[in-house]
């Protein structure tokens, strides 16, 4: 699995006022979690923003490099962004061990254009966008690609249809639908026909009225 190096320092400043001061100084406050314990840290804003923007939607191992020369392996757990200004406010990481399995969520990316869309007039719907898996940190795939090229109208791809790399276990319900190609139902077709039939008399009636008004003129 790809690893990304981010420099960090222990944080001794706490509270909203201190967090604002840190951000003004070019740092982002963060917390590193491990086995129920938490370690306050701070990171350079440009480094963590670059990481988030370049790995959006993917799981990437991070090597948190401390200023005393030590380092810890971690995964990004969460981050908060100012809803108005769009600026990064805070990040959370959880430390991992290469010998211990972890449960993480990876993004699902659909690949290809289904036969049911291209030739049968169906509509592709992605029902599941993320998938929870369990594996060793080094075995975590950045994301999961699902080929939907052969999917016909009325067919679906389920979690049970996935082929995962060795050592990666899916923890989701096997019957969960990932993607499906839908077609207009009989009820929808009937409604469309009914609407067309109701519209025709109105057009005819309007036409006759216009003819009568023309004759009177």
| pLDDT value at residue 188 | 55
The residue length of the chain stands at 217
Rounded to 5°, the CA angle 34-45-11 comes to 45
Q: Does domain 103-182 have CATH number 3.20.20.70?
A: no
pLDDT of residue 12: 86
| Domain extent listing, the chain | 3-96, 103-182
Distance of CA 49 to the CA centre of its chain: 18
Query: pLDDT by residue for the chain (217 residues), tens digit each?
Result: 668 999 999 998 888 889 899 999 999 999 999 988 999 999 999 999 999 999 887 889 999 999 888 999 999 999 999 999 889 999 999 999 999 999 999 999 999 999 999 998 899 999 999 999 999 998 999 899 999 999 999 999 999 999 998 999 999 999 999 999 998 664 455 455 556 656 555 444 444 444 444 344 4
**Which residue, 88, 58, 86, 60, is CA-closest to 74?**
60
Other C-beta atoms lying within 10 Å of the C-beta of residue 170: 17
Tell me what pLDDT residue 195 has.
Answer: 64
- Please enumerate, as own/partner, the contacts of 125-129 that have beta carbons within 8 Å and a separation of 24 or more: 125/179, 125/180, 125/181, 125/182, 126/178, 126/179, 127/176, 127/177, 127/178, 127/179, 127/180, 128/159, 128/172, 128/176, 128/177, 128/178, 128/179
Class of domain 3-96: mainly beta
């Amino acid at each position: 699995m790809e690893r990304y190096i981010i420099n960090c320092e222990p944080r001794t400043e706490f509270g909203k006022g201190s967090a604002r001061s840190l951000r003004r100084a070019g740092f982002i406050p963060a917390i590193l979690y491990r086995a129920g314990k938490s370690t306050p840290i701070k990171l350079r804003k440009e480094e963590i923003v670059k990481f988030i923007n370049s790995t959006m939607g993917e799981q990437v191992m991070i090597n948190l490099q401390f200023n005393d020369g030590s380092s810890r392996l971690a995964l990004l757990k969460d981050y908060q962004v100012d809803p108005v200004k769009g600026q990064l406010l805070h990040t959370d990481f959880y430390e991992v061990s290469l010998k211990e399995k972890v449960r993480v969520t990876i993004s699902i990316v659909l690949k290809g254009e289904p036969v049911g869309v291209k030739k049968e007039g169906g509509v592709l719907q992605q029902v599941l966008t993320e998938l929870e898996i369990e594996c060793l940190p080094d075995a975590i795939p950045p994301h999961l690609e699902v080929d939907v090229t052969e999917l016909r109208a009325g067919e679906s791809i389920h979690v049970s249809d996935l082929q995962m790399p060795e050592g990666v276990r899916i923890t989701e319900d096997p019957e969960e639908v990932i993607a499906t190609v839908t077609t207009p139902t009989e009820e929808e077709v009937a409604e469309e026909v009914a609407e067309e039939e109701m519209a025709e008399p109105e057009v005819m009636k309007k036409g006759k009225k216009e003819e009568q008004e023309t004759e009177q003129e």
